[in-house]
Amino acid sequence: MSLTKRQYLMAGGLAMLAVALGVAAATLPKHSEAVSVTLPEATAIHVTLDQALASDQSRPGDHFEATVSEPVVIDGKTVIPQGAYAEGLVVDARQSGRLKGRARLQLELESVSVNGQNYGVRTTSFRRAGGDHKKRNWALIGGGAGGGALIGALAGGGKGALIGGPVGAGAGTTVALLTGKKDIHLRPETPLTFKLAEPVAIPVKG
């Protein structure tokens, strides 16, 4: 069957179009595929807090927000970029007592966000304990007793000293009760470092 001139032209046009499409496909930039990179155990993740935390205000189970302050790079590939969003958990929080009992604050990271996707992580804990106020309290109580003894001695001699001592000790204990708490306060932008407790795989674009 013979082809008409019009059919020849259409066939030739289709062939040229196919060639053009093939050339265009070959020259288009290829999209890089994501490759999973594993962060090994003990990899450090540096963050800064986005909010304040305190041993006398935070509660176990509370969540907190943070920002990755340094990129995590493995074999030249940035796995977790600087500025990535991170979320953590308050594992333990205990406020300071006035005469005894140290403040405690224990934090862990739970997840990081990379390219809009959240990835769960398990990290070692950031722990901080408040100062031991026993020596300070004894100094306050002892100072109060000495002051009471001096006042008692001035007022009534030796007998007054015996009376004034216990009174002064009581006053010193009151001062310790009012000023003895030593809670832990972390301000926003406080730098913290967590380390992975187990490896985690995160896809990275090649």
* Structure confidence at residue 170 (pLDDT): 47
Quick one: 97 and 196 in the same domain? yes
* Structure confidence at residue 152 (pLDDT): 46
Helix (H) or strand (E) holding 115: none
Give the C-alpha distances (Å, rounded to integers) separating 155 from 131, 144, 161, 166, 169. 38, 16, 8, 15, 17
* Structure confidence at residue 202 (pLDDT): 96
* Structure confidence at residue 21 (pLDDT): 58
| 26 is a domain residue | yes
* Structure confidence at residue 151 (pLDDT): 39
Query: Mind listing the pLDDT tens digit of every residue in the chain (206 residues)?
Result: 555 655 555 655 566 666 555 655 555 445 557 789 999 999 999 999 999 999 999 999 999 999 999 999 999 999 999 999 999 999 999 998 755 578 999 999 999 999 999 999 999 999 998 766 555 444 444 544 444 443 344 445 555 444 444 444 444 434 434 444 689 999 999 999 999 999 999 998 76
Quick one: 45 and 140 in the same domain? no
* Structure confidence at residue 171 (pLDDT): 46
Structural domain including 153 reads: 134-180
Helix (H) or strand (E) holding 50: none
Quick one: 80 and 4 in the same domain? no
Quick one: 161 and 108 in the same domain? no
**Residue 195 token pair:** 């380390």
- The whole-angstrom distance between residue 135's C-alpha and the CA centroid of its chain comes to 32
3-state secondary structure of 94: strand
What CATH code is carried by the domain that includes residue 89?
A: 2.40.128.260
Give the C-alpha distances (Å, rounded to integers) separating 50 from 63, 68, 77, 86. 11, 10, 26, 10
Quick one: 65 and 122 in the same domain? yes
Quick one: 38 and 112 in the same domain? yes
| 185 is a domain residue | no
Quick one: 151 and 108 in the same domain? no
C-alpha–C-alpha distance, residues 170 and 74, integer Å: 61
Which residues are CB-contacts of 172 (< 8 A; sequence separation ≥ 6)?
140, 141, 142, 143, 144, 145, 147
* Structure confidence at residue 3 (pLDDT): 52
* Structure confidence at residue 140 (pLDDT): 46
Quick one: 75 and 170 in the same domain? no
Burial environment of residue 93 by CB neighbours within 10 A (0 to 12, 13 to 18, 19 or more): buried
Provide the domain count of the chain.
Answer: 3
Quick one: 76 and 154 in the same domain? no
| 138 is a domain residue | yes
